[in-house]
Chain A
Amino acid sequence: MSEKELSKYGEGVGFERIRRITGYLVGTIDRFNNAKRAEVNDRVKHGV
């Protein structure tokens, strides 16, 4: 591997973010439909 290629290790690779969609999980958020995505963005944390 050349120096140039080495420096691209991971370039363009996003983080995977898994959230519960309803009772179940799905892959990562990019699989969510637009409405569900909006809902996930709006979710606030609940204090204990």
Chain B
Amino acid sequence: MIVTVKKRDGREMPFNIEKISAAIEKAFRASGELDEQIKASQDQLNLLGNDDVLSSTALQVAASAVGLLEAEGKVKPEIEEIQDAVEKALTEGGYADTAKSYILYRAERTRIREVNTRLMHTLRDITFSSAKESDLKRENANIDGDTAMGTMLKYGSESAKHFYTMMMLKPEHSRAHSEGDIHIHDLDFYSLTMTCCQIDLKKLFKGGFNTGHGHLREPKDIRSYAALAAIAIQSNQNDQHGGQSIPNFDYAMADGVRITYRKAYLSNMVKALILLTGKTEEEIQPVVKKLHAEMAEMGMVATLVPNEKFVEAEARELSKTFDTEIVMKAQKFAEKMAYEETDKTTFQAMEAFVHNLNSMHSRAGAQTPFSSINYGMCTEPEARMAMRNLLLTTDEGLGGGETAIFPIQIFRVKEGISLNPGDPNYDLFKLACKVSAKRLFPNFSFQDAPYNLQYYKPGHPETEISYMGCRTRVIGNNYDPTREISFGRGNLSFTSINLPRIAIKMKSVDLFFKELDRMLQLVSDQLMERFAVQSRRKVKNFPFLMGQGVWIDSEKLGWEDTVGEVIKHGTLSIGFIGLAETLVALTGKHHGESEASQELGLKIIGHMREFCDKESKRLGLNFSLLATPAEGLSGRFVRMDKKKFGIIPGVTDRDYYTNSFHVPVYYKISAFKKLSLEAPYHALTNAGHISYVELDGDPTQNLDAFEKIVHHMAKVGIGYGSINHPVDRDPVCGFVGVIGDCCPRCGRSEGHAISEAKIEELRKLYPGMPAFKGIR
């Protein structure tokens, strides 16, 4: 007789026949095979519940299943054995349909169990392994997977991915994703958010704004401008799963500098008059303040570069009260002091801005906001002061001299504005090169690239090209061609295609394009599915992004309105990875090695772009083609393809697929040639792109070469580019630069100790050295 059963985890439990019959009952309900009998018995005898036929039949089947087991001599049957017996008993009992639903029920249970097991394994990995051992915890390097909040975020993220894969995605999309044909990015936020947004700071600051935790008044000097800029980024970050960018940092900060200067001029004018006339502050301050207010109403204000209209009118009016000579002297003093004070305050404001963005928390403290700022086109003196000080503080680094990771700075380059000697912002461009040669930022965006220039209207900063630091670009607008701007817009979601796999599977170019078309259509459908989910979200789900009018036209919506219409301004992007490996699989050579491969590469990417344009037209939305950043994705596809197809030289023989359309990182090629080969892909990837080259040694020692490369980028039509070089730092002595085996400043090698006497000696030479304490 059966007394116990063996569960899947090996434990023995008391045998309970009712558990078996309950499962069989479910199968009967699903098949409906007993429905007629139940109805007949109901008609006969209403007193008995309809469950009786069901449960008694189920119990009978369960009993015969047990009989079968016992006949086989099973004393402690396993779950699987019991289920086999039930299937047999149902079939023998003549319940074919029910047997079928029982099998389906079994399969479904197995599937859920497997998913749950996988989820539990994942959660266990997150709980018990450190980021050092767990690749999963380093999927996104900006999240510290070792912290409590980083771990909590990871639990949420992994569970959400499981949930959406099981319950929300269409099976064909879910399968394509889990099998690695495509990658649905930010799947953990599938039903919640859109990717990113370019925040128009000037619009946001007007009249102040609410963070959701309190109202902030319109800022009144450069320090509060900079502080609020950081807060705006932080607040918006919690409403999106991607990054935040400011497209008009120069224009917005100029306003803050203007107000700061005006105030500084007033207070210094008062000080000068006190000193020169011997009168008291009470006598002087009200007179000057009233005069400035009256003049402001007539449009005359003190400006960083003194304007004649103001200077003359002020002199004339003040001379009515004070001696003319004193007034002239006071003006000179106030101008000089106000300039210096404003410059200093602006530096402090920019310093605090960078510090804030590297220390303020978002997403429950697991990471700092992913922030970018675009600047470089505004030539007003106030904007130039903000940009210069931003670059200077970036050059200095953070408190201990560390390189700031955020914000990603993007310097806009344009002929006639900044690119060439004699251009009004050429000095800033030179400074940007110098800072980038030391700190890796700023990156450079190219306003004159034809596909960027076509949108540009002088005097309209919203038409300047803006990038998210990662590379995302939103400017064209098929949904509303009158709004081809970057302000208030962003990407909604993106999904990448595993290009190398198509090439490996199809082998021939013709078949490749056929399969590519199938994949493009699949991704387009998937993006539309997600778009429908996103469209049903309401303003209240995005208290800052939509509630504060950051997203374009959201100010016209009410709290309970859905966002479907306004998010049509956003982009749905199709991405890709591994063009180089794709070309090797198809032709044996990548585009760095062969002109024919380059031609084919451009044909493939051009074809993908055409598809996006066609979908935009067909659906009235903004489909765009993305050269996917692929941080987490860099290893995922190739790991799967290695398993599926084995090691194919030049295709699956490394741990990563080459980024987007890049020439492989391991291929020896000159910086100029690499950029020339990659530039035509920038023109095709309208959802975003970046190219970078690797410089040897310390580029601060060769700024000419650095500048030449940026010029070459502009010449060949790169849209967004940067120059890589090693940035190392010794936390013990604070040296920043290239460190080989030992530190050029203190001479210690990695992990080794030096004497405190040596540190003290160095501190005399380098007063800014960080205070490194104790054994770390």
Contacts and interface: CB of A to CB of B under 8 A. Distances in A.
Max chain A C-beta neighbours (<10 A), residue from B370, B638, B655, B731: B655
Contacts of A27: 141-142, 405
A33 B729 contact: no
Contacts of A45: 694-696
A23 B408 contact: yes
B654 interface: yes
Interface in A1-48: 1, 5-27, 30-36, 38-39, 42-48
B266 interface: no
A15 B636 CA distance: 29
A32 B727 CA distance: 15
Contacts of A31: 131, 138, 141-142, 144
A7 B753 contact: yes
Contacts of B630: 22
A22 B630 CA distance: 8
B30 interface: no
B759 interface: yes
Given A43-B666, A44-B666, A17 B726 contact: yes
Contact of B690 (A13, A22, A38): A22
B634 A11 contact: no
Contact of B470 (A17, A23, A42, A48): A23
Interface string B395-429: 00000001101001000000000000000000000
Contacts of B671: 46-48
Given A18-B729, A38-B656, A48-B670, A10 B772 contact: yes
Nearest to A5: B775
Max chain B C-beta neighbours (<10 A), residue from A1, A13, A22, A26: A22
A1 B775 CA distance: 12
Contact of A13 (B132, B467, B631, B732): B732
Interface string B132-161: 100100110110100000000000000000
Interface in B342-394: 370
Given A22-B659, A35-B635, A44 B775 contact: no
B728 A32 contact: no
A42 B667 CA distance: 9
A10 to B, nearest CB: 4
B751 A46 contact: no
B668 A44 contact: yes
B755 interface: yes
Contact of B728 (A1, A18, A48): A18
Interface in B667-688: 667-672, 674
Contacts, number: 175
B606 interface: no
Given A23-B471, A23-B629, A48 B754 contact: no
Contacts of A43: 665-666, 694, 724
Contacts of A7: 753, 755
A22 B138 contact: no
A23 to B, nearest CB: 4
A24 B751 contact: no
A14 B750 contact: yes
Contacts of A14: 750-751
B776 interface: yes
B443 A23 contact: yes
A42 B42 CA distance: 76
A18 B142 CA distance: 13
Contacts of A36: 141, 631, 634-635, 656
A41 B638 CA distance: 17
A47 B695 CA distance: 7
Contact of B402 (A5, A16, A19, A23): A16
Given A22-B690, A25-B440, A45-B696, A34 B135 contact: yes
Contacts of A24: 142, 370, 405, 408, 469-470
Contacts of B666: 42-44
Contact of A34 (B655, B665, B672, B709): B655
Nearest to B729: A16
A9 B754 contact: yes
A48 B753 CA distance: 38
A5 B692 CA distance: 45
A9 to B, nearest CB: 5
Given A8-B775, A22-B659, A15 B753 contact: no
Max chain A C-beta neighbours (<10 A), residue from B408, B629, B656: B656
A20 B753 contact: no
B695 A26 contact: no
Nearest to B743: A15
Nearest to A42: B666
A19 B470 CA distance: 14
A20 B724 contact: yes
22 contacts: A6-B755, A6-B756, A8-B753, A9-B754, A11-B775, A13-B751, A15-B728, A18-B405, A18-B728, A23-B720, A26-B141, A31-B142, A31-B144, A33-B141, A33-B631, A33-B632, A42-B654, A44-B694, A45-B696, A47-B670, A47-B671, A48-B709
Interface of A: 1, 5-27, 30-36, 38-39, 42-48
